[in-house]
Amino acid sequence: MSARLQRTIAEIRDSIAGVRSRGLSIGLVPTMGALHDGHGALMRRAREENRYVVATIFVNPTQFNRADDFEKYPRDLETDLAFCDGLGVDAVFAPDAAEMYPGTPLTSVEVADISSRLEGEFRPGHFRGVATVVAKLFHIIPADRAYFGEKDAQQLAIIQKMVADLNFPLTIVPVATVREPDGLAMSSRNQRLTREQRAIAPVLYRALTEVAETVRAGCVDAALATAAGGKILSGAPEIRVEYLEIVNPVTFQPVTVIHEPARVVAAVWLGDVRLIDNVRVPR
Ligand code: AMP
């Protein structure tokens, strides 16, 4: 059976009420579309763990801090629906912006501290947009589990904190980052890289891996370890580093001496495409 496309909140609520009344567990996979195998990993996991799987496809305007990024964000609903079908997704909720934001909203969700650094610093308002739209989706689709990628580790930490703080009655399931064979983390924005930029892009993962390896080899000084990664990035053409930092994986505050597992996180520009990635740092 193919995935049912639902365009309105009333329609998806109606389907979900039916599913709930049959006592079936529900897995939710929120996305912005332009689906790839990273999204696929979330959907497969949701399919394994739930009787009913809903994917959402919504390019959420409120989480874009730059109009050009929003406009250039890839959109292809037909291909995305076929992708969802192939993975056995039961329903796809793909509302338009007027459906999600019928009036000017006066309410938003802000997860303090975690949101103010790194992605939050370089993309002002981004995480308020994310947390608010995810809270709305959790209310529209009362799922048992929701699936989020470690690719967006800061976003995942923010959603986990929001769910804990506001007692959302669902479990957040983190899913490991899916990579291309050369290490580049899959991302909808990779489509916008030129052939030359695509060849350069795996340097980001190489740099992050170098930081983790430096720690594994015994370096506990975060500044020294990140410098090893920074050196790799500075040798690459066209790359402009926004941040490269070792952080606590829950609070996303900077770590100076590594005595417990952490994450090394980075954002770089490659031409006009912004790439983010992260890797676990061992103790
Ligand atoms: P997006 O469509 O970029 O908003 O991503 C939707 C969800 O897919 C988020 O939870 C992302 O973290 C996750 N995701 C995106 N890329 C990957 C990837 N390469 N591996 C695993 N999860 C991913």
Identify the pLDDT of residue 1: 60
- The pLDDT score that the predictor gives to residue 283 is 83
Instruction: Give bridge partners of residue 281 from the DSSP assignment.
Output: 262
43 CA to centre of ligand 1 in angstroms: 11
126 Cα–ligand 1 center, Å: 16
What is residue 3's predicted lDDT score, i.e. its pLDDT?
Answer: 80
pLDDT of residue 222: 98
DSSP bridge pairs for 276 = 267
Q: Which residues contact 34 (CB under 8 A, 6 or more apart)?
A: 73, 74, 75, 76, 80, 188, 191
Residue type, 57: I
Tell me the longest C-alpha to C-alpha distance in the chain. Answer: 58
Ligand 1 pocket test, candidate residues 35, 39, 58, 69, most atoms within 8 A of CB: 39
Q: Which amino acid is at 66?
A: R
Considering the entire predicted model, what is its pTM?
Answer: 0.98
pLDDT (tens, 9 = 90+) of the chain, 283 residues, equals 688 999 999 999 999 999 999 999 999 999 999 999 999 999 999 999 999 999 999 999 999 999 999 999 999 999 999 999 999 999 999 999 999 999 999 999 999 999 999 999 999 999 999 999 999 999 999 999 999 999 999 999 999 999 999 999 999 999 999 999 999 999 999 999 999 999 999 999 999 999 999 999 999 999 999 999 999 999 999 999 999 999 999 999 999 999 999 999 999 999 999 999 999 999 8
Q: Which active-site residues does the annotation give?
A: 39
Helix, strand, coil % (nearest 5) of the chain? Answer: 45, 20, 35
Mutational test site, ligand 1, from 29, 57, 148, 151, max ligand atoms within 8 Å of CB: 151
Question: Which residue puts its alpha carbon closest to atom 11 of ligand 1?
Answer: 149
